[in-house]
A and B are shown apart, each in its own frame.
Chain A
Amino acid sequence: MAGIRVENIVKLFGRVKALNGVSLEVRDQEFVVLLGPSGCGKTTLLRIIAGLEHAESGRVFIGDRDVTALPPRSRKIAMVFQNYAVFPHLTVFENIAFGLRMQKALPERLRAQVERAATLMHIENLLERYPAQLSGGQRQRVAVARALAVEPEVLLMDEPLSNLDALLRLEMRAELKRLLAESRTTTLYVTHDQVEAMSLADRIAVMNAGRVVQYDEPMKVYQEPADTFVGGFIGSPPMNFLRLPVEGSQARIQSLTLELPSSPPGKDVLLGVRPEDLEAHLEPQPQSFPARVLVVEPLGSHLLLTLAYEQQQLKVTVPPDFAAKSGQTLWLRPQPGRLRWLDPASGQSLTHARQA
């Protein structure tokens, strides 16, 4: 068993800076999810850890070994590729057995391991087929099973469930989590899916434009985003950001004044607040501010309201029986303790020191 540590990875593709000084530590047996928009460098980071790509600078450690110069086969990792990379000329069985055959595993162990991994991914009845005879989702599961079968120290997974239907994904997600917790495999897992990230991760590393912008436990990342990017990227609908004038150590929303944790550098400050952390009322309330309803969207479990406060728009979720009409003015009461304050110039949180 081993942790992963990468230090100051810089990776250029020609003039494109795919990774711009990434440092990340995954503890032994930890499950870390890399989350970020398309093209932010998630796959590139995994490939560098796997040894498939060489960084311009920086080091990679697995366990206590500096593996920066080692080829992939000596790194004791297994990887699930974004496009599966299932061997088309081998049956499902031989695909899953590939790594074990390279390890010269005994026949009994080989068969047992293959069957275990296949059963886990629900492909045990497809073992004799060739990949061309499988659906995309089945191929993806073969790829995951192939990586699990070798029982690696470190498992790198690049969107391994992206091609499954919602129900199967939910099930696989739970099983993967159980299995990996059981086998205590250190895992670095890439996904686009925030819900998947929140549900699987011990910690989430949020990436943007070749950097890790926040690395923390899922609830922390959700509730205490390090900057406007994280707040806007995580959560659906995203966090609201209201630009408010500063008066001394307080911010003002009409008659409502809110205490700031530290005095901001500029004349304005950004208030970050999640749509569920604004309590909507039909009547004026203490500790609240008025906003006009623009759109009402019923979403089943709740209503999603789009409102305007002065020129700024914000989203609020309210219970499904809430009587809101567009054009109406509502009074919004921010939940104390759930507010984030950010610097409008840099987008950084006032309390959250930026991580390297």
Chain B
Amino acid sequence: MSTRTIYLALAVLLALWVVVPIFLIATLAFSDRASVFAWPKGILPQHFSLETISFFFGVAGVGKAIGNSLIVAGLTLLFAVLLGAPAGYALARYRFAGADAYRILILLTRAFPLAILAIPLAVRFINLGLYDTPLGVALVHTALALPFAVLVTSSLFLGIPRELEEAAWTLGCNRIQAFLKVVLPLALPGLAATAIFAFVISWNEVFAATLLTLRERTLPAFLLTALNDSPLPFRFAGGFFLIVPALVFIFVIRRYLFTLWGIANR
């Protein structure tokens, strides 16, 4: 057997490993109660039905949790782009003392375990009145998303030749006009990808969201506490809602993730 076949087999195995659970969750989320409990389960969804989904939405707190998740993720997206893009631009365009150290420092924030931070953070948030608010959770999520936002936008701006901006300056633009007329249109798709990535990070984050909220749960935090003592259909529908936005978004921005990770641009 050639190495190529082995790689292929491994790749298929890996893909199945990821896809099969997602597939099961998705099909069962759209099946009726009977097939959720049925065993053995068929490969294909047997009875298409919105019963499970509507049951899920009927549970008290789900609607509010989704709303909270949207608010938190939206705020995270906003903060991450508004703070991350300027930092990324500075890293890409200016040579300043400590630029490299700054770059590494940004990554180091991700190495800092959230578990250690959580308790002091909760105490501080209670003092500040941020505890149990979407804004508080969004701030923590921004801290999580920001390193990615800075590094992705910095490589994004690096990919836009400085001469384009300079040409705009010589043609009568000041720095802001040149940014708006030349850099921004070119960076827009990448900035959108950065925003979506921040959104997904926030949407899927469960640890900080659980620790920093009591009533204002986000969806993952709500599900985490509710999942263990919930009926099976609820779990499937909940799982589905956790996975799907991330999958869709990652799919949309995959091209940027590839370039970010150094895989050939396709």
When distances are taken between beta carbons in the complex, the residues of chain B under 8 Å from A52 are 166, 169-170
Contact of B168 with A98 in the complex, beta carbons under 8 Å: yes
Name 27 A/B residue pairs within 8 A (Cβ), A-sorted. Answer: A50-B166, A50-B170, A52-B166, A72-B166, A72-B169, A73-B169, A73-B171, A75-B170, A79-B170, A81-B163, A83-B161, A85-B163, A85-B166, A87-B164, A87-B167, A87-B182, A89-B185, A89-B186, A98-B181, A99-B171, A99-B172, A102-B171, A102-B172, A102-B173, A102-B177, A103-B172, A146-B171
Q: 6 more A-B contacts (CB under 8 A) besides A72-B170, A73-B169, A89-B185?
A: A71-B169, A73-B171, A73-B172, A85-B163, A88-B164, A103-B172
- The one of B161, B171, B174, B182 in contact with A78, judged by C-beta atoms closer than 8 angstroms, is B171
Q: How far is the CB of B171 from chain A (nearest CB, A)?
A: 4
When distances are taken between beta carbons in the complex, the residues of chain A under 8 Å from B177 are 102
Contact of B163 with A83 in the complex, beta carbons under 8 Å: yes
Q: How far is the CB of A64 from chain B (nearest CB, A)?
A: 21
Size of B's binding interface in residues, CB under 8 A? 17
Contact of B167 with A81 in the complex, beta carbons under 8 Å: yes
For A72, give the chain B residue with the smallest CB separation. B169
Q: Which of B168, B171, B173, B174 counts the most A-chain CB atoms under 10 A from its CB? A: B171
Binding site for B on A (CB under 8 A): 50-52, 71-73, 75, 77-79, 81, 83, 85, 87-89, 98-99, 102-103, 146, 150
- The one of B161, B173, B174, B185 in contact with A85, judged by C-beta atoms closer than 8 angstroms, is B161
Q: Given that A87-B182, A88-B186 are known contacts, is A81 also in contact with B166, CB under 8 Å in the complex?
A: yes
* Chain B interface, DSSP helix/strand/loop, else mixed: helix
Q: How far is the CB of B163 from chain A (nearest CB, A)?
A: 4
Number of A-B residue pairs, CB cutoff 8 Å, is 57
When distances are taken between beta carbons in the complex, the residues of chain A under 8 Å from B166 are 50, 52, 72, 81, 85
For B163, give the chain A residue with the smallest CB separation. A85
Per-position 1/0 for B172-200, Cβ under 8 A of A: 11100100011001100000000000000
Contact of A79 with B167 in the complex, beta carbons under 8 Å: yes
Q: How far is the CB of B60 from chain A (nearest CB, A)?
A: 49
When distances are taken between beta carbons in the complex, the residues of chain B under 8 Å from A78 are 170-171
Q: How far is the CB of A158 from chain B (nearest CB, A)?
A: 10
CA distance A341 to B26 in the complex (A): 89
When distances are taken between beta carbons in the complex, the residues of chain A under 8 Å from B181 are 98
Contact of A71 with B163 in the complex, beta carbons under 8 Å: no
Per-position 1/0 for B58-89, Cβ under 8 A of A: 00000000000000000000000000000000
CA distance A71 to B171 in the complex (A): 11
Q: How far is the CB of A53 from chain B (nearest CB, A)?
A: 9
For A89, give the chain B residue with the smallest CB separation. B185
CA distance A285 to B166 in the complex (A): 62
Contact of A150 with B171 in the complex, beta carbons under 8 Å: yes
Contact of B186 with A98 in the complex, beta carbons under 8 Å: no
**4 shortest A-B CB distances, which residue pairs?**
A102-B172, A99-B171, A85-B163, A85-B167
Q: How far is the CB of B4 from chain A (nearest CB, A)?
A: 35
Q: How far is the CB of B234 from chain A (nearest CB, A)?
A: 48
